[in-house]
Amino acid sequence: MRHTKIVATLGPACSQPDTLRALLNGGVDIVRLNFSHGSHESHARSYAAVRDAAEATGRTVAVMQDLSGPKIRTGPLEGGQPVTLAPGQTLRIAAGDKPGNSEVVYTPYEPLIRSVSRGDRLLLDDGRIELRVEELRHDEIVTSVVAGGSLGQKKGINAPGVGLPASAVTEKDAADLRFGLHLGVDLVALSFVQTADDVQRAIDIMRDAGRSVPLIAKIERPAAVSNIDAILGVAQGVMVARGDLGLEVPLEQVPRMQKHIIRRARAAGLPSILATQVLESMRVDPRPTRAEVSDAANAVDEGADAIMLAGETAVGAHPARAVETLDAIIRDAETMPPSERVVPEMDPARSPHGRAVCEAAVTLAATARAGAIVAVTREGHTARMLAALRPTTQVFAVTPSAGVVGATAMLWGVTPILTTTEDINEIERLLSERHLVSSGSVVVFVNISAELNRLDANFINVQRFQ
């Protein structure tokens, strides 16, 4: 079995039913709908296509809605045509959504104009174009082009080191989030989080909407790295969003920040997703570079719960092959013992006995050479606690809740099973029927609950399957 999960981003390259089925058969655990692109109609169609493909393949997949957050972008251009920016030339950036040209480009994100200082750098279009701020005017900034090139419409702007007003949930995000919850997404990721308050705001919107799903904070601003522990105190997971992070901080710091974010998430007992450019060359080529293979394998060693493909599956030439390649890389990397052991610092006040029960189950499973640990879980806490302990034994999260199935999809080493029964004999029958546990295997059943007065909860039970 594979412990580290695979996230694949949906896009034009994989939205045909047969490609989507190939992706799921290749091992995708979570499909990402990227709300930086597309309309509500197109996302509704994609969502239905994913559910159809899951049904057709018999695979359990979770759908993750990725909210665009306050991504700063340039506006439209005159005639829709790209403009050429030459090094040394002057380019003004003004607030608004008018079409720009090679002298002035607009941005709908007005706070940018007020937040920059002379000498700051602005990176456009994933850093392909670099500008230096020369002069601040009332409603525009005057920059000089340091690195030039062709600039298309609506390209990203990154302002490294510039403190921007905190509010990771834009009006568009709030509307998208309500739409996604209504659609039925299992997980929500929020871009450009800076503080725990940003995360809380999204959680409050879910509560008001009457449907809450796990919130994953995308760590792609330096402020979020500084506030990582506070963010982990509120979010249900984090994503190392290396694309924007690598523009917001010097590139050479990204590997160190990646390790730090993954370590802190593991210490908090929460899942992390490693994202961006994982098998980037496979957008074009059928085989990844050796450096990409090594990067993905190192993410496994660092203990990421999941690895994400973006352009590789969304717009690449070999979407299914990219998934199969990542699956093979992860499986091989997982045969090596991890180079570092991270002990979760989980808050014992949450469930004073819960961690001890799960640790005992993990030890018992290892000593008894068990084939599986079965977490009987209503809210998913047992599964999350077990995943945090990184058992070598595979974990089945048996739950009556479709919400828990979605939430556990990103947990390292956890396979969710949806069923209403909590009866151990019935669960045994179900796992045997589906050939998930072979006959003669030892299986450890575990359940934790905050309520110690429930006779049906807080147990460890070891069985040999017929």
Which of Mn ion, ligand PGA, none is residue 276 near (CB under 5 to 8 Å by kind)? ligand PGA
372 is written with which tokens? 């599986």
Catalytic residue among 59, 71, 73, 429: 73
19, 24, 235, 312 from 286: Cα distances, Å = 16, 19, 36, 11
- Which one, 13 or 362, has the nearer CB to ligand PGA? 13
Contact yes or no for 73/109 (Cβ under 8 A): yes
Q: How far is the CB of 193 from ligand PGA (least distance, A)?
A: 11
Q: Known catalytic residue: 32? A: yes
Q: How far is the CB of 253 from ligand PGA (least distance, A)?
A: 14
Would you say the C-alpha torsion 28, 32, 37, 43 has a positive or negative sign? positive
Q: Known catalytic residue: 276? A: yes
- Judged by CB under 5 A, which of 66, 130, 186, 244 binds Mn ion? 244
Q: How far is the CB of 159 from ligand PGA (least distance, A)?
A: 15
Q: How far is the CB of 32 from ligand PGA (least distance, A)?
A: 9
Contact yes or no for 261/219 (Cβ under 8 A): yes
**Beta partners for residue 464, in sequence order:** 442
Catalytic residue among 107, 276, 377, 415: 276
Closest CA to 403 of 181, 228, 200, 226: 181
**Beta partners for residue 416, in sequence order:** 397
- Which one, 244 or 428, has the nearer CB to Mn ion? 244
H-run or E-run covering 273: strand 272-275
Total count of residues recorded for the chain: 466
3-class state of residue 265 by DSSP: helix
Catalytic residue among 5, 32, 321, 355: 32
User: By the criterion CB under 6 A, which residues form the site for ligand PGA?
Assistant: 36, 66, 191, 218, 220, 241-244, 275-276, 310
Phi, psi of 375 (to 5 degrees): -90, 120
Catalytic residue among 155, 201, 218, 355: 218
3-class state of residue 171 by DSSP: helix
- Strand 83-85 and strand 149-151: pairing? antiparallel
Which of ligand PGA, Mn ion, none is residue 292 near (CB under 5 to 8 Å by kind)? none
CA 340 to chain centre: 23
Q: For the CA atoms of 330, 336, 342, 348, what is the dihedral angle to 10 degrees?
A: 80
Q: How far is the CB of 111 from ligand PGA (least distance, A)?
A: 19
* Residue 241 interacting with Mn ion (CB under 5 A): yes
Q: Known catalytic residue: 9? A: no
Q: Is 211 exposed, middle or buried (0-12, 13-18, 19+ CB in 10 A)?
A: middle
By rule CB under 5 A, what string of x and - marks binding of each residue 123-162 to Mn ion? ----------------------------------------
By rule CB under 5 A, what string of x and - marks binding of each residue 372-411 to Mn ion? ----------------------------------------
- Which one, 121 or 242, has the nearer CB to ligand PGA? 242
By rule CB under 5 A, what string of x and - marks binding of each residue 220-239 to Mn ion? x-------------------
87 is written with which tokens? 């090094």
Q: How far is the CB of 293 from ligand PGA (least distance, A)?
A: 19
Q: Known catalytic residue: 218? A: yes
Residues that bind Mn ion (CB under 5 A): 220, 241, 243-244
Catalytic positions, please? 32, 73, 218, 276
